[in-house]
Amino acid sequence: MDKLKKRILQDGKCFEGGILKVDSFINHQMDPTLMSDIGKEFAERFAAVKPNKIMTIEASGIAPAIMTGYFMKLPVVFAKKKSPKTMQNALTTTVRSFTKNREYEVVISKDFLTPDDRILFIDDFLAYGNAAVGIIDLIEQAGAQLVGMGFVIEKEFQEGRKLLESKGAEIESLAIIENLENGKIQLK
Ligand code: 5GP
Protein backbone atom coordinates (compact mmCIF):
# COMPACT_ATOMS: atom_id res chain seq x y z
CA MET A 1 0.00 0.00 0.00
CA ASP A 2 1.96 2.96 -1.36
CA LYS A 3 0.34 5.71 0.69
CA LEU A 4 1.15 3.87 3.92
CA LYS A 5 4.72 3.11 2.84
CA LYS A 6 5.35 6.79 1.98
CA ARG A 7 3.98 7.86 5.35
CA ILE A 8 6.21 5.36 7.19
CA LEU A 9 9.28 6.67 5.38
CA GLN A 10 8.25 10.28 5.99
CA ASP A 11 7.16 10.09 9.66
CA GLY A 12 8.36 6.75 11.11
CA LYS A 13 11.27 6.74 13.56
CA CYS A 14 13.64 3.88 14.42
CA PHE A 15 14.36 3.01 18.03
CA GLU A 16 16.80 0.65 19.75
CA GLY A 17 15.95 -3.03 19.59
CA GLY A 18 14.15 -3.03 16.25
CA ILE A 19 11.23 -0.81 17.27
CA LEU A 20 9.54 1.50 14.77
CA LYS A 21 7.72 4.48 16.19
CA VAL A 22 4.70 5.59 14.16
CA ASP A 23 2.93 7.50 16.88
CA SER A 24 2.21 10.59 14.80
CA PHE A 25 -0.26 8.67 12.60
CA ILE A 26 -1.03 5.19 14.05
CA ASN A 27 -0.08 4.57 17.69
CA HIS A 28 -0.83 7.82 19.51
CA GLN A 29 -2.09 10.55 17.21
CA MET A 30 -4.08 8.92 14.38
CA ASP A 31 -4.78 9.82 10.77
CA PRO A 32 -8.43 8.84 10.08
CA THR A 33 -8.12 9.21 6.30
CA LEU A 34 -5.14 6.85 6.19
CA MET A 35 -6.92 4.51 8.65
CA SER A 36 -9.96 4.47 6.37
CA ASP A 37 -7.74 3.55 3.39
CA ILE A 38 -6.18 0.79 5.50
CA GLY A 39 -9.63 -0.61 6.35
CA LYS A 40 -10.68 -0.51 2.70
CA GLU A 41 -7.51 -2.33 1.62
CA PHE A 42 -7.98 -5.11 4.21
CA ALA A 43 -11.64 -5.42 3.21
CA GLU A 44 -10.61 -6.00 -0.42
CA ARG A 45 -7.77 -8.42 0.39
CA PHE A 46 -9.90 -10.56 2.71
CA ALA A 47 -13.25 -10.48 0.88
CA ALA A 48 -12.73 -14.01 -0.49
CA VAL A 49 -12.21 -15.69 2.92
CA LYS A 50 -15.68 -14.55 4.04
CA PRO A 51 -15.20 -13.71 7.72
CA ASN A 52 -18.28 -12.97 9.82
CA LYS A 53 -16.39 -11.01 12.49
CA ILE A 54 -13.24 -8.90 12.91
CA MET A 55 -11.13 -9.46 16.02
CA THR A 56 -8.27 -7.38 17.40
CA ILE A 57 -6.43 -6.63 20.63
CA GLU A 58 -6.52 -3.35 22.53
CA ALA A 59 -5.43 -0.66 22.11
CA SER A 60 -3.60 -0.04 18.84
CA GLY A 61 -5.42 -2.72 16.81
CA ILE A 62 -8.81 -1.12 17.38
CA ALA A 63 -8.53 1.69 14.82
CA PRO A 64 -7.55 -0.45 11.79
CA ALA A 65 -9.98 -3.18 12.89
CA ILE A 66 -12.94 -0.85 13.17
CA MET A 67 -12.27 0.63 9.72
CA THR A 68 -12.03 -2.90 8.27
CA GLY A 69 -15.30 -3.82 9.97
CA TYR A 70 -16.88 -0.66 8.60
CA PHE A 71 -16.00 -1.54 4.99
CA MET A 72 -16.86 -5.25 5.38
CA LYS A 73 -20.04 -4.39 7.34
CA LEU A 74 -19.02 -6.79 10.11
CA PRO A 75 -18.91 -6.53 13.92
CA VAL A 76 -15.54 -5.86 15.56
CA VAL A 77 -14.52 -7.35 18.92
CA PHE A 78 -11.29 -6.63 20.79
CA ALA A 79 -9.50 -8.84 23.31
CA LYS A 80 -8.97 -6.90 26.53
CA LYS A 81 -5.74 -6.62 28.46
CA LYS A 82 -7.53 -6.34 31.82
CA SER A 83 -10.43 -8.55 32.80
CA PRO A 84 -13.43 -6.40 33.80
CA LYS A 85 -15.03 -7.60 37.08
CA THR A 86 -18.36 -7.84 35.26
CA MET A 87 -17.12 -10.15 32.49
CA GLN A 88 -18.70 -13.60 32.65
CA ASN A 89 -17.67 -16.63 30.58
CA ALA A 90 -14.21 -15.22 29.89
CA LEU A 91 -11.59 -17.00 27.82
CA THR A 92 -8.03 -16.12 28.87
CA THR A 93 -4.54 -16.47 27.45
CA THR A 94 -1.06 -15.12 28.22
CA VAL A 95 0.91 -12.99 25.75
CA ARG A 96 4.55 -11.93 25.88
CA SER A 97 4.95 -8.23 25.01
CA PHE A 98 7.98 -7.49 22.91
CA THR A 99 7.89 -3.70 23.27
CA LYS A 100 7.25 -3.79 27.04
CA ASN A 101 9.30 -6.96 27.77
CA ARG A 102 6.74 -8.56 30.08
CA GLU A 103 3.83 -11.00 30.02
CA TYR A 104 0.20 -10.00 30.26
CA GLU A 105 -3.20 -11.70 30.27
CA VAL A 106 -5.74 -11.08 27.52
CA VAL A 107 -9.40 -11.94 27.85
CA ILE A 108 -12.46 -12.11 25.67
CA SER A 109 -16.04 -13.00 26.53
CA LYS A 110 -17.45 -16.23 25.10
CA ASP A 111 -20.52 -14.13 24.28
CA PHE A 112 -18.55 -12.49 21.45
CA LEU A 113 -16.32 -15.35 20.27
CA THR A 114 -18.36 -18.44 19.53
CA PRO A 115 -18.01 -21.74 17.62
CA ASP A 116 -19.99 -20.17 14.73
CA ASP A 117 -17.43 -17.41 14.15
CA ARG A 118 -15.13 -17.08 11.14
CA ILE A 119 -12.55 -14.64 12.46
CA LEU A 120 -10.40 -12.12 10.62
CA PHE A 121 -7.72 -10.86 13.04
CA ILE A 122 -6.38 -7.33 12.43
CA ASP A 123 -3.49 -5.66 14.30
CA ASP A 124 -1.15 -2.70 13.91
CA PHE A 125 2.17 -4.63 13.99
CA LEU A 126 3.46 -8.12 13.34
CA ALA A 127 6.81 -8.49 15.11
CA TYR A 128 7.58 -11.90 16.69
CA GLY A 129 3.96 -12.98 16.41
CA ASN A 130 3.29 -13.44 20.14
CA ALA A 131 0.12 -11.34 20.26
CA ALA A 132 -1.26 -13.17 17.21
CA VAL A 133 -0.45 -16.57 18.75
CA GLY A 134 -2.39 -15.53 21.87
CA ILE A 135 -5.35 -14.59 19.69
CA ILE A 136 -5.15 -17.94 17.86
CA ASP A 137 -5.26 -19.64 21.28
CA LEU A 138 -8.44 -17.73 22.23
CA ILE A 139 -10.03 -18.61 18.88
CA GLU A 140 -9.17 -22.29 19.40
CA GLN A 141 -10.50 -22.26 22.97
CA ALA A 142 -13.80 -20.85 21.67
CA GLY A 143 -14.02 -23.46 18.90
CA ALA A 144 -14.16 -20.64 16.33
CA GLN A 145 -12.29 -20.59 13.00
CA LEU A 146 -9.46 -18.23 12.01
CA VAL A 147 -9.79 -17.28 8.33
CA GLY A 148 -7.13 -14.56 8.05
CA MET A 149 -4.67 -12.24 9.77
CA GLY A 150 -4.02 -8.69 8.57
CA PHE A 151 -1.24 -6.44 9.83
CA VAL A 152 -0.74 -2.77 9.04
CA ILE A 153 3.06 -3.08 9.42
CA GLU A 154 5.09 -6.29 9.43
CA LYS A 155 8.70 -6.31 10.62
CA GLU A 156 9.92 -9.19 8.50
CA PHE A 157 13.28 -9.49 10.29
CA GLN A 158 11.55 -10.54 13.54
CA GLU A 159 10.05 -13.53 11.71
CA GLY A 160 6.54 -13.59 13.21
CA ARG A 161 5.14 -14.64 9.84
CA LYS A 162 6.98 -17.97 9.97
CA LEU A 163 5.45 -18.74 13.36
CA LEU A 164 1.94 -17.88 12.17
CA GLU A 165 2.25 -19.71 8.86
CA SER A 166 3.17 -22.83 10.79
CA LYS A 167 -0.27 -22.49 12.37
CA GLY A 168 -1.96 -22.35 8.97
CA ALA A 169 -3.17 -18.74 8.93
CA GLU A 170 -3.47 -16.66 5.73
CA ILE A 171 -1.48 -13.46 6.29
CA GLU A 172 -1.60 -10.04 4.62
CA SER A 173 0.61 -7.08 5.61
CA LEU A 174 0.16 -3.63 4.08
CA ALA A 175 3.79 -2.54 4.57
CA ILE A 176 6.71 -4.90 5.13
CA ILE A 177 9.92 -3.68 6.77
CA GLU A 178 13.02 -5.66 5.88
CA ASN A 179 15.19 -4.06 8.51
CA LEU A 180 15.71 -1.04 10.75
CA GLU A 181 19.49 -1.23 10.97
CA ASN A 182 21.55 1.93 11.51
CA GLY A 183 18.41 3.95 12.12
CA LYS A 184 17.24 3.49 8.52
CA ILE A 185 13.81 2.16 7.57
CA GLN A 186 14.21 -0.35 4.75
CA LEU A 187 10.89 -1.28 3.15
CA LYS A 188 10.24 -4.26 0.91
P1 5GP B 1 4.45 -9.40 18.49
O2 5GP B 1 3.51 -10.02 19.46
O3 5GP B 1 4.16 -9.76 17.05
O4 5GP B 1 5.89 -9.62 18.85
O5 5GP B 1 4.23 -7.84 18.62
C6 5GP B 1 2.99 -7.31 18.26
C7 5GP B 1 2.55 -6.21 19.17
O8 5GP B 1 3.62 -5.48 19.75
C9 5GP B 1 1.74 -5.22 18.33
O10 5GP B 1 0.39 -5.37 18.68
C11 5GP B 1 2.27 -3.86 18.72
O12 5GP B 1 1.38 -3.25 19.61
C13 5GP B 1 3.57 -4.10 19.44
N14 5GP B 1 4.75 -3.82 18.59
C15 5GP B 1 5.65 -4.73 18.12
N16 5GP B 1 6.64 -4.13 17.44
C17 5GP B 1 6.36 -2.81 17.44
C18 5GP B 1 7.03 -1.66 16.90
O19 5GP B 1 8.09 -1.72 16.24
N20 5GP B 1 6.43 -0.46 17.11
C21 5GP B 1 5.26 -0.34 17.80
N22 5GP B 1 4.76 0.90 17.92
N23 5GP B 1 4.61 -1.39 18.35
C24 5GP B 1 5.15 -2.62 18.18
CB of residue 154 inside a 6 A radius of ligand 1? no
> What CATH number was assigned to the domain covering residues 2-187?
3.40.50.2020
In contact, 155 and 125? CB cutoff 8 Å: yes
pLDDT of residue 120: 98
How long a stretch of residues is the chain?
188
Q: Which atom of ligand 1 is nearest to the CA of 18?
A: 19
Atom of ligand 1 nearest to the CA of 60: 12
* The pLDDT value given to residue 168: 81
Pocket residue to mutate for ligand 1, from 22, 99, 180, most atoms within 8 A of Cβ: 99
pLDDT (tens place) for every residue of the chain, 188 residues total: 999 999 999 999 999 889 999 999 999 999 999 999 999 999 999 999 999 999 999 999 999 999 999 999 999 999 999 877 888 899 999 998 877 889 999 999 999 999 999 999 999 999 999 999 999 999 999 999 999 999 999 999 999 999 999 888 789 999 999 999 999 999 99
Q: Can you list the alpha helix ranges (DSSP code H) found in 91-179?
A: 130-142, 160-165
The structural domains of the chain, with segments of one domain joined by +, span: 2-187
Answer whether 4 contacts ligand 1 (Cβ < 6 A): no
Question: How much is the pTM?
Answer: 0.97
Q: Within a 10 A sphere around the Cβ of 105, how many other Cβ atoms?
A: 15
Q: What is the pLDDT of residue 30?
A: 98
12 lines ligand 1 (CB under 6 A): no
